[in-house]
Chain A
Amino acid sequence: MIEGFTALDIFMLAAFTGYEVIARVPVILHTPLMSGSNFVHGIVLVGAMVAMGSADTDMERFIGFLGVMLAAGNAVGGYVVTERMLEMFKSSKGAGK
């Protein structure tokens, strides 16, 4: 378990990382980037799987099932959509210049 100040340290460092990574992004990439970061929090799938994997009652199992389903949607949908957008970007860039 990650606890106390270790948790806080990780939280702070990750927050700064996120800020720095985005800070100098050009406007044209805002939409794909929003979509991309949307995909990244699809990692919630991992947590949903763990939660469901430890579910014992029917109620827990049902909610866990919903959670995994939603998380998988987040991850897969986020990837497909971002990939489609960025693919277009690359090819048009090559043609345009």
Chain B
Amino acid sequence: MIQLSYFAAAMLFILGLKRMSSPVTARGGIVWAGAGMLVATIATFFWPGMHNYGLMIIAIAIGGGAAWYTGKKVAMTDMPQMIAIYNGMGGGAAAAIAAVELLKGDFHSQSFLVLAVIGALIGSVAFSGSMVAFAKLQGLMKKSFIFPGQQKMNLIVFAAAIVYGVLLMTSDTTGGFALFIFFALALAFGIMMTLPIGGADMPVVISLYNALTGLAVAFEGFVLGNAAMIIAGTVVGSAGTLLTQLMAKAMNRPISNVLFSGFGASGGEAAAETGGTMKEVDASDAAVMMAFASKVIVVPGYGMAVAQAQHKIWEFCKLLEDKGVTVKFAIHPVAGRMPGHMNVLLAEAGVPYDKIYDLEEINGEFPQADVALIIGANDVVNPVARTDPNSPIYGMPILDADKAKNVIVVKRGRGTGFSGIENALFFLDNTRMLYGDGQEVANKLIQEVKQL
């Protein structure tokens, strides 16, 4: 009966994920997967020979309750870090399973022991790494920690973790002090591996940890002889790996590069090379410029989302359209904090799909555009990615907003983007800066256009 419910759960997960890969059926997909989870969880209460039920229910109530509360409350813009933290919890849970099994130490065969240790290592790394990713995206941890010899240091910690892992696999008793050291090393490696990675690369890293957690879950599934865990974990492991590749490709950065290059390390040097000054413009001039344009391309970024300006911007764009202006939205693959994040936010504001264009579709149109309106985007329109081989973002595909006849940049202040790189676009002759909170600026633009 329990096995049957696990089988049903595994099937529901796969069907659910399948449905999630199309916008029309996506909503149903998560409900299916949720039903699978519920069935499997309830069935597990009837697993033979279980005790500690009271504590177990308390643990579920605490963990589930806290996650429910935070999940309901979190703003759409903070989604990526929430995914990171929930994912880290899964990794931690997989590591905890391994710890309990290793403490008990009665393995049916050597291969299970090996799998338990590998799963523990991966799970621990995903756990501590995800927590660092969360801290960084949440702004609790601003800087990237980079010091000379860091990679060697990481390698040493990783090697030490493996040595202790092998020690656990070969010794007679798997509990005790070696187990403690092993977990400490694995957790430390997760932290150290994530610390030097810059914020812009975080989505790729979160996706990678998502895949790793899946793998850890699958390994612990083998140890426990639990088919649902094996299948669900492996499916997530491979799907997550593919997603990670897709994201890395969108940023034109090989995954190894993301993990080992220490993004943003050379940002300071690149800044000195950008000449010229930033030129300001006020809202009324900007509104006139766009109202009498024939084509405006809007490039939204994370800044727009933070200011919750997407509704106002869309309202403004509708006014422009009434005046006969063609308005298009250009979305960079990594706009927002994750691929597709910006699409979600624009969808929330009610922007129709046929006005939203991908990088490849829209880039050829910038030279014909009268105005490129950039709202809260920064690194994804930085032309140094095309021109300056020394820049850390060199080679990343960008939106060619600088090729538009005029560029208006709506920005809160003069600071650099998330990656900490100075943006050469802001200093161009055809660029005007419109300082202010995204929502306020959008409001002003709406009023100005209405008065015309």
Q: Which residues of A contact B (CB under 8 A)?
A: 1-4, 7, 10-11, 14-19, 21-57, 59-61, 63-90, 92-93, 95-97
Contacts and interface: CB of A to CB of B under 8 A. Distances in A.
A76 B93 contact: no
Most chain A C-beta atoms within 10 Å of own C-beta, residue among B80, B108, B230 = B230
Contacts of B101: 51
Contacts of B234: 10-11, 14-15, 18
By Cβ-Cβ distance, the 7 closest A-B pairs, closest first, are: A67-B96, A53-B50, A80-B71, A77-B67, A72-B63, A18-B238, A14-B234
Number of contact residues on B: which range applies?
35 or more
A70 B30 contact: no
A45 B224 CA distance: 12
Interface of B: 6, 9, 13-14, 16-18, 20-24, 26-27, 29-31, 33-34, 37, 40-41, 44-45, 47, 49-53, 55-56, 58-68, 70-72, 74, 76, 79-80, 82-83, 85-87, 89-90, 92-97, 99-101, 103-104, 108-109, 111, 127, 206-207, 210, 213-214, 217-218, 220-222, 224-240, 242-243, 246-247, 250, 333, 336, 338-341, 343-344, 347-354, 358
Given A18-B236, A27-B246, A31-B341, 20 more contacts: A14-B231, A17-B238, A21-B18, A28-B343, A28-B344, A36-B29, A44-B93, A45-B44, A49-B56, A50-B44, A56-B104, A61-B55, A63-B99, A68-B59, A73-B89, A77-B67, A77-B86, A78-B90, A81-B74, A92-B347
Nearest to B359: A27
16 contacts: A14-B218, A14-B234, A18-B236, A21-B14, A29-B23, A36-B33, A43-B233, A47-B220, A51-B100, A65-B55, A67-B96, A70-B96, A74-B90, A75-B41, A79-B30, A86-B27
A64 B68 CA distance: 21
B350 A22 contact: no
A11 B230 CA distance: 7
Contacts of A68: 56, 59-60, 63, 93
Contact of A39 (B30, B108, B239): B30
B298 to A, nearest CB: 16
Contact of B63 (A2, A33, A40, A73): A73
Give the one of B79, B83, B347 with max A CB within 10 A. B83
Given A36-B33, A67-B93, A95-B350, A44 B217 contact: yes
B219 to A, nearest CB: 10
A71 B233 CA distance: 13
B125 to A, nearest CB: 15
A1 B239 contact: no
Interface of B is mostly: helix
Among A23, A25, A57, residue most surrounded by chain B Cβ atoms (within 10 Å): A25
A54 B350 contact: no
Contacts of A73: 63-64, 66-67, 86, 89
B231 A52 contact: no
A23 B319 CA distance: 39
A27 B30 CA distance: 18
Contacts of A38: 83, 86-87, 90, 210, 213, 236
Given A70-B96, A96-B352, A29 B340 contact: yes
A36 B336 CA distance: 18
Contacts of A80: 67-68, 71-72
B33 A39 contact: yes
B335 to A, nearest CB: 10
A42 to B, nearest CB: 6
Given A16-B238, A25-B21, A31-B341, A92 B86 contact: no
A1 B225 contact: yes
Contacts of B21: 21-22, 24-26, 29, 33
Given A40-B17, A46-B41, A71 B27 contact: no
B85 A77 contact: yes
Contact of B235 (A17, A26, A48): A17
A73 to B, nearest CB: 4
Nearest to B233: A41
Question: Which of B90, B347, B350 counts the most A-chain CB atoms under 10 A from its CB?
Answer: B90
Nearest to A33: B20
Contacts of B353: 93, 96-97
B346 to A, nearest CB: 8
A68 B92 CA distance: 10
A85 B30 CA distance: 10
B146 to A, nearest CB: 27
